[in-house]
């Protein structure tokens, strides 16, 4: 489909130096975005990035392309993805661009976009950008070229916004918190938010060098924050990913809370505050335990496709405000317009303060089913649905699980992987079934 030639579920992403993540393509992309999103001469577009070394190159390329299209540029430097959504709105820009590959290693990068309202771009706008990329690049007259300036107070503006999502008068004094910023875009922002609200903060993952983003730390590797919480006898730990839109938490016992448990706690907080949450949105990967726990609270649960854009679409279509993914993307539409790891953590901690309960106690209302996922490397062009053996293995697993569990097989939207997930009451059975299906996929690709 032409409309999805470059864009995936979360912008454009890939290996640096391999098409389309090259300097020449990003230059043309900047020009195309300027032509499509900038409605008038000298419209404004924001550019932010995470801490990958390739961010310097792509920032310059985007800036050149936008300037050639006659668009003015506001440079934010390293900033979390959700901060770009916020600043795009408050600085009245026509669009916001984020240079980031989120949770991927440093050698990957990507480009994500926000509209003037702080939401991710709709499919039709992405399609228009792709059509414009195919057009010859025409540079504006010299007098009409876009100008660039740096927003020097970007971090301060976003810190104040994050703090504003906590109810007035609520402070975190007496709390001992460990924060792991994954050597990513939140390294100079997140610790300040929590310390300015009164918490004692231990900072780890705050020394980016361009190559260490997400490496053995952050939301993808919570072992680092687990160890720090136990060593310092902290009340909780916060692990963010490289661009700050994912959140994983750790309680005082060192137990990890994923996006499902965080979403459950925020739903409880909203209910106690008298804010009706008739429906919460998760994904097809969300644990059955979350669905059952929300049902016990009198809430409905809907499943979207994997990807925060699909969670967002379902929230907007239903007029709901709370949704998220097991991976830690949590969207609080009553606070902001996109998944925000810092804002989500603030909602959980405020609930801790209000109830006087520990994080361990707050998560006790959800009992998760054993879930086992295997990522199988996917060869280009392979479609598991065309394989009789793979489909037979899936059908066999479904028959054994019956009504006590489920199996989900899906290609990743961001990596060349096929994700095989099995969930059920018996952990050993679940693991064996996942291995059986994964082995069938690998065997078929090797045949």
CA distance linking residue 49 with residue 21, whole number of Å: 15
pLDDT > 70 in the chain, percent: 98
Pairing of strands 417-423, 371-377: antiparallel
Mean pLDDT of the chain: 94
Same fold, 258-368 and 371-446: no
Token pair, residue 281, equals: 């949105």
Residue 130 and residue 269 in contact, taking contact as beta carbons nearer than 8 Å: no
Among 187-201, 336-350, 414-428, the range scoring the smallest mean pLDDT is 414-428
CA distance to 135, 224, 230, per residue, from 199 (Å): 53, 20, 17
- pLDDT of 329 > 50? The answer is yes
Residues listed for the chain: 447
Q: How many CB atoms lie under 10 A from the CB of residue 192?
A: 18
pTM: predicted TM-score of the whole model, two decimal places = 0.90
Q: How many whole angstroms from its chain centre is CA 420?
A: 21
3-class DSSP state of 397: helix
Is the domain spanning 258-368 CATH 3.40.120.10? The answer is yes
Question: 49 or 292, which is more confident?
Answer: 49
Burial class (CB in 10 A: 0-12, 13-18, 19+), 3: middle
Residue 306 and residue 413 in contact, taking contact as beta carbons nearer than 8 Å: yes
Token pair, residue 52, equals: 């990958």
Token pair 């810190």 is found at 159
Taking only the tens place, the pLDDT of each residue in 287-302 is: 989 999 999 999 999 9
The Cα angle at residue 121 between residues 27 and 326, in degrees rounded to 5: 110
- pLDDT of 39 > 70? The answer is no
- Domain boundary assignment for the chain: 2-152, 172-256, 258-368, 371-446
- pLDDT of 425 > 70? The answer is yes
Among 38-42, 99-103, 152-156, 410-414, the range scoring the smallest mean pLDDT is 38-42
Q: What is the CATH number of domain 371-446?
A: 3.30.310.50
Question: 285 or 149, which is more confident?
Answer: 149
Q: Which CATH superfamily groups domain 172-256? A: Alpha-D-Glucose-1,6-Bisphosphate, subunit A, domain 3 (3.40.120.10)
CA distance linking residue 427 with residue 429, whole number of Å: 6
Position 415 confidence tier, pLDDT thresholds 50, 70, 90: confident
Mean pLDDT, to the nearest integer, of 344-352? 98
| Positions marked active-site | 102
Q: Which CATH superfamily groups domain 2-152? A: Alpha-D-Glucose-1,6-Bisphosphate, subunit A, domain 3 (3.40.120.10)
pLDDT of residue 41: 66
Residue 376 and residue 441 in contact, taking contact as beta carbons nearer than 8 Å: yes
Question: 402 or 199, which is more confident?
Answer: 199
- pLDDT of 9 > 80? The answer is no
The phi-psi region of residue 183 (left if phi > 0; otherwise alpha if psi is between -120 and 50; otherwise beta) is left
pLDDT of residue 2: 46
């Amino acid at each position: 489909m032409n409309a999805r030639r470059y864009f995936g579920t979360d912008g454009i992403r890939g290996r640096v130096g391999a098409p389309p993540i090259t300097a020449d393509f990003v230059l043309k992309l900047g020009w195309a975005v300027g032509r499509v999103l900038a409605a008038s001469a000298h419209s404004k577009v924001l550019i932010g990035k995470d801490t990958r070394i390739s961010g310097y190159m792509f920032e310059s390329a985007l800036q050149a392309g936008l300037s050639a299209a006659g668009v003015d540029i506001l440079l934010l430097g390293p900033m979390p993805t959700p901060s770009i959504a916020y600043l795009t709105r408050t600085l009245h820009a026509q669009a916001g661009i984020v240079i980031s590959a989120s949770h991927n290693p440093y050698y990957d990068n990507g480009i994500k976009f926000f509209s003037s309202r702080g939401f991710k771009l709709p499919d039709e706008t992405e399609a228009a950008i792709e059509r414009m990329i195919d057009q010859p690049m025409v540079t504006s007259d010299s007098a009409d070229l876009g100008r660039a300036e740096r927003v020097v107070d970007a971090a301060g503006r976003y810190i104040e916004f994050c703090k504003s999502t906590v109810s007035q008068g609520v402070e975190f004094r007496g709390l001992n918190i460990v924060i792991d910023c994954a050597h990513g875009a939140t390294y100079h922002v997140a610790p300040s938010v929590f310390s300015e609200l009164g918490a004692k903060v231990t900072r780890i993952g705050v020394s980016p060098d361009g190559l260490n983003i997400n490496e053995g730390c952050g939301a993808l590797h919570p072992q680092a924050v687990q160890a720090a919480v136990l060593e310092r006898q902290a009340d909780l730990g916060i692990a963010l990913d490289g661009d700050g839109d994912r959140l994983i938490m750790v309680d005082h016992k060192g137990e990890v809370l994923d996006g499902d448990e965080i979403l459950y706690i925020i739903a409880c907080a909203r209910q106690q505050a008298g804010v009706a949450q008739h429906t919460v949105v998760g994904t097809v990967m969300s644990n059955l335990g979350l669905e059952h726990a929300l049902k016990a609270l009198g809430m409905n649960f809907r499943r979207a496709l994997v990807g925060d854009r699909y969670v967002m679409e379902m929230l907007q279509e239903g007029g709901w405000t709370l949704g998220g993914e097991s991976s830690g993307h949590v969207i609080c539409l009553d606070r902001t317009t996109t998944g925000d790891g810092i804002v989500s953590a603030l909602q959980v901690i405020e609930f801790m303060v209000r109830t006087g309960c520990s994080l361990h106690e707050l998560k006790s209302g959800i009992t998760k089913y054993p879930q086992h996922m295997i990522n199988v490397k996917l060869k280009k062009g392979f479609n598991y649905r065309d394989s009789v053996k793979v489909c037979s293995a899936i059908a066999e697993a479904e028959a054994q699980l019956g009504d006590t569990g489920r199996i989900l097989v899906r290609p990743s939207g961001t990596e060349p992987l096929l994700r095989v997930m099995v969930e059920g009451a018996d952990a050993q059975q679940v693991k064996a079934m996942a291995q059986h299906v994964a082995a069938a996929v690998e065997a078929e690709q090797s045949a």
